[in-house]
């Protein structure tokens, strides 16, 4: 399917390659700020697509906006999200952003670019939209699998700390997986909060100009504050990974077991081989 709901994607060109210093800083800090990863023209096009997707009149089966607190379809919410929009809009995999971000991801993960796949996630945080609590991405993932992944985070405008830019704990990716608890004790919300001492942490807020992005390891603690401005914050996180593999023994993560018990979603990887590489999605 192609995007015919808005104007065609702009034919812009912009290539950026990570430097050895950036690769080294990512390995040390667990995150990286890139001041320019795509063009203003492409950001404007993405913002138009966001507005179309998040318009309640345009929700479809492949891109349904959901309330992040309840998981339910939502026409009105302070925090709405759409998962894997590239299935409905494959042009998202052909953008300048995706091409440059994939190049960065491969270099930061120290793998061949052909081995990297991705999936996207659109978030619209309205004025007053709540914070996203401190967490590690891997804490949500299947305990039966070993991952080698990172997240890219692209706002569709300049983003400040007041609006809810990304914040990271420097070096936290080297400390393993922290214990996590359901936010406000509500397992059904499937929102986790890491158990760690915020006061003693080396927290780095990362405001970005339009066209900038951040990258972070799957184990880097990160957080975004509530949107305290009068503008919606539009963010486009993308997960880049190599194909995960089965662990010889599953990791022990109580909060994952609790979520499976509540959701009726038990370990569901029987269709995958006990050894070897699992398939990945979104090219």
**Tens digit of each residue's pLDDT (9 = 90 or more) over 125-141:** 999 999 999 999 999 99
**Domain presence at residue 268:** no
DSSP three-state, residue 132: strand
**Domain presence at residue 179:** yes
- Helix H or strand E segment including 82: strand 79-83
**Domain presence at residue 275:** no
- Helix H or strand E segment including 49: helix 40-54
Give the confidence band of 78 by pLDDT, cuts at 50, 70, 90: confident
**Domain presence at residue 180:** yes
CA separation (Å) from 86 to 63, 231, 236? 9, 25, 12
Does the pLDDT of residue 82 top 60, yes or no?
yes
Which residues, 6+ apart, have CB-to-CB distance to 19 below 8 Å?
Answer: none
Task: Calculate mean pLDDT across residues 176-187.
Answer: 94
Does the pLDDT of residue 57 top 90, yes or no?
no
**Domain interval for residue 127:** 20-263
Query: What sign does the dihedral 280-59-140-33 (CA atoms) show?
Result: positive
Please indicate, yes or no, whether the overall pTM of this predicted structure exceeds 0.85. yes
**Domain presence at residue 269:** no
Residue 121 backbone phi and psi in degrees, to 5: -155, 115
In 111-145, which positions are buried (b, 16+ CB within 10 angstroms) versus exposed (e)? eeeeebbbbbbbbbbbeebbebbbbbbbbbbbbbb
**Domain presence at residue 277:** no
**Domain presence at residue 113:** yes
**Domain presence at residue 3:** no
Q: How many domains does the chain have?
A: 1
pLDDT for 281: 32
**Residue 182, domain CATH:** 2.60.120.620
Average pLDDT over the chain, rounded to whole? 88
* Distance between CA atoms of residues 240 and 251, nearest Å: 21
Task: Calculate mean pLDDT across residues 149-157.
Answer: 98
Provide, rounded to the nearest whole percent, the portion of the chain with pLDDT above 90.
Answer: 76
């Amino acid at each position: 399917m192609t995007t015919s709901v808005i104007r065609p994607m702009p034919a812009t060109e912009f290539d950026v390659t990570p430097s050895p210093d950036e690769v080294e800083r990512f390995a040390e800090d667990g995150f990286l700020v890139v001041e320019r990863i795509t063009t203003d023209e492409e950001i404007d096009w993405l913002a138009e697509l966001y507005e179309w997707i998040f318009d309640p009149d345009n929700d479809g089966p492949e891109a349904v906006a959901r309330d992040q607190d309840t998981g339910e379809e939502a026409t009105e919410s302070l925090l709405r999200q759409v998962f894997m929009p590239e299935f409905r809009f494959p042009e998202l995999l052909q953008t300048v952003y995706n091409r440059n971000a994939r190049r960065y991801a491969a270099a930061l993960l120290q793998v061949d670019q052909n081995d990297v796949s991705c999936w996207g996630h659109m978030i619209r945080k309205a004025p007053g939209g709540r914070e996203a609590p401190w967490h590690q991405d891997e804490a949500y993932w299947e305990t039966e699998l070993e991952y080698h992944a990172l997240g890219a985070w692209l706002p569709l405008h300049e983003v400040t700390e007041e609006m809810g830019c990304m914040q990271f704990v420097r070096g936290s990716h080297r400390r393993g997986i922290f214990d996590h608890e359901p936010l406000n004790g509500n397992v059904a919300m499937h929102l986790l909060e890491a158990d760690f001492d915020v006061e003693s942490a080396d927290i780095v807020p990362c405001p970005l100009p339009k066209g900038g992005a951040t990258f972070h390891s799957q184990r880097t603690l990160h957080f975004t504050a509530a949107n305290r401005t009068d503008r919606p914050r539009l963010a486009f996180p993308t997960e880049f990974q190599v194909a995960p593999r089965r662990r010889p023994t599953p990791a022990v993560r109580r909060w994952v077991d609790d979520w499976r018990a509540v959701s009726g979603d038990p370990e569901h990887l029987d269709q995958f081989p006990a050894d070897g590489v699992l398939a990945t999605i979104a090219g």
